[in-house]
């Protein structure tokens, strides 16, 4: 018999995440590697594990295969067994595109049968693309103490950033009395984290009563706030939505800052050690004579002969002689050949940078990428999976090199800032 005191968790992991550009061409956003040997979804799953909640439904949609392989049986997060489990919940696709999830509320609505098959007092709804540590048990206690219909995780953000979020105005008791979705002229600095606790009966009621409404923040929450008990749960700590290249790079840099507020190990964040290419399958990192590493994260299986400064290296990266890696995120099994230089770049898996090549050069970091000016505009260059940069090539700032490009795809060895190949 299921313990009704344990909530059912629904983890939303189906978004396209297009602002992550090449990083989501072959994988779902929650499956993007992060901080060496984690994936983004590990943070939400570990928060669930640390709270002791036994059942999770993962709502997938866009390119789910790498995510499904990563989740496996759920063993890595103690989510397998007779009374525990993680269940993949894809859209109930039919012959039309309209059968796919249209929004957060629609995704949950399409899985009412899963909710009914796992009776609970409350439903906890999380996103799979946030980097944070939250005490979900405390949030559940807060929800019950307030006798709320809905509780929304909220935190203070700079008003200049509030346009990216749902924003709530609360009274002295913490009840949300007004709601603005992505306001252009904000009246509050209290932002929604996209983390909710719903009373189960209440959630089922509003989903069935408002069948045409597809999104919580845009549609259902404003209605609930007008007539029902919706409370804010105040969160104080590190939280970041890593839905853009800039935010993804900054969050990786936050991990290695000397005064960092983010520590996956201290937070109890657990990767899947059984997944492909992770540290469990690797030997220890090797630092050869003449190598130099400053303020960086070096994962298992890396071999360092050159210099690494302020960078995050995933398992299996090889840094050759006289190579300089600076302010960069290098994913699994990349090879940087002798004399190469990588400065302010993100390299997806198995990229090879040829001898003496330069990735990231030029003083003007404000020349945005011509094809994707809203994705790359601060100097970061982005190289896709299994790219091979020819020896001696020079690549500027805010450049994009598409996955699987080989030396014969380069019409010139000089790629100006803002260009795409």
Q: Is 55 helix (H, G, I), strand (E, B) or coil?
A: strand
DSSP one-letter string for 329-385: EE-TT-EE-TT-EEESEEE-TT-EEPTT-EES--S-TT---SS-TTTS-SS-EEE-T
C-alpha neighbours within 13 Å on the C-beta side of residue 16: 7
Indicate the class that CATH gives domain 278-415.
mainly beta
**Can you tell me the distance from the alpha carbon of 195 to that of 387, in angstroms, rounded to the nearest whole number?**
37
Q: Do domains 8-256 and 278-415 have the same CATH topology?
A: no
- What does the angle CA 134 – CA 140 – CA 142 come to, to the nearest 5 degrees? 95
> Are 17 and 24 a contacting pair, CB within 8 Å?
yes
Q: What is the CATH number of domain 8-256?
A: 3.90.550.10
Each of the 421 residues of the chain gets a pLDDT tens digit; together they read 345 589 999 999 977 778 899 999 888 899 999 999 899 999 999 999 999 999 999 999 888 888 888 888 898 899 988 788 999 898 865 445 556 778 888 899 999 999 999 999 999 999 998 999 999 999 999 999 999 999 999 999 998 888 888 899 999 999 999 998 888 888 899 999 999 999 999 999 999 988 888 889 888 999 999 999 999 999 999 999 998 999 999 999 999 998 888 889 999 999 987 665 555 678 899 999 999 999 999 999 999 999 999 999 999 999 999 999 999 999 999 999 999 999 999 999 999 999 999 999 998 898 999 999 999 999 999 999 999 999 999 999 999 999 999 999 999 999 999 999 9
Domain residue limits, the chain: 8-256, 278-415
């Amino acid at each position: 018999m299921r313990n009704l005191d344990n909530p059912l968790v629904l983890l939303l992991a189906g978004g396209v995440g297009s602002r992550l550009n090449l990083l989501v061409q072959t994988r779902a956003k929650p499956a993007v590697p992060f901080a060496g040997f984690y994936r983004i979804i590990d943070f939400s799953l570990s928060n669930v594990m640390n709270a002791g909640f036994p059942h999770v439904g993962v709502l997938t949609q866009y390119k789910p295969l790498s995510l499904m392989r990563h989740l496996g049986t759920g063993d890595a997060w103690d989510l397998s067994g007779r009374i525990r489990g993680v269940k993949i919940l894809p859209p109930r696709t039919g012959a039309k595109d309209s059968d796919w999830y249209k929004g957060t509320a629609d995704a949950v609505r399409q899985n009412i049968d899963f909710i009914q098959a796992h009776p609970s007092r409350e439903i906890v709804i999380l996103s799979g693309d946030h980097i944070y540590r939250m005490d979900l048990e405390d949030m559940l206690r807060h929800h019950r103490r307030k006798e709320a219909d809905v509780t929304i995780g909220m935190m203070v953000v700079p008003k200049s950033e509030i346009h990216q979020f749902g924003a709530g105005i609360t009274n002295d008791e913490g009840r949300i009395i007004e709601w603005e979705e992505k306001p252009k002229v904000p009246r509050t600095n209290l932002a929604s984290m996209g983390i909710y606790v719903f009373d189960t009966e209440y959630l089922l009621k509003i989903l069935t009563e408002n069948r045409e409404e597809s999104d919580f923040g845009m549609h259902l929450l404003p209605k609930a706030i007008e007539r029902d008990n919706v409370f804010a749960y105040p969160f104080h700590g590190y939280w970041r939505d890593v839905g853009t290249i800039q935010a993804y790079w900054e969050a990786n840099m936050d991990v290695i800052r000397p005064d960092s507020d983010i520590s996956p190990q201290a937070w109890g964040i657990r990767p899947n050690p059984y997944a492909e290419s992770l540290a469990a399958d690797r030997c220890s990192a090797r630092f050869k004579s003449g190598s130099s590493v400053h303020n960086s994260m070096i994962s298992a299986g890396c071999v360092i002969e050159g210099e690494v400064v302020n960078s995050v290296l995933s398992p299996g990266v090889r840094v050759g002689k006289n190579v300089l890696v600076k302010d960069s995120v290098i994913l699994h099994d990349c090879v940087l050949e002798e004399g190469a230089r990588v400065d302010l770049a993100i390299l997806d898996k198995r990229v090879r940078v040829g001898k003496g090549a330069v990735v990231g050069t030029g003083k003007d970091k404000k020349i945005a990428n011509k094809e994707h000016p809203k994705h790359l505009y601060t100097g970061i260059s982005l190289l896709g999976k299994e790219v091979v940069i020819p020896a001696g090539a020079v690549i500027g700032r805010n450049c994009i090199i598409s996955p699987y490009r080989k030396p014969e795809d380069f019409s010139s060895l000089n790629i100006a800032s803002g260009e795409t190949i």
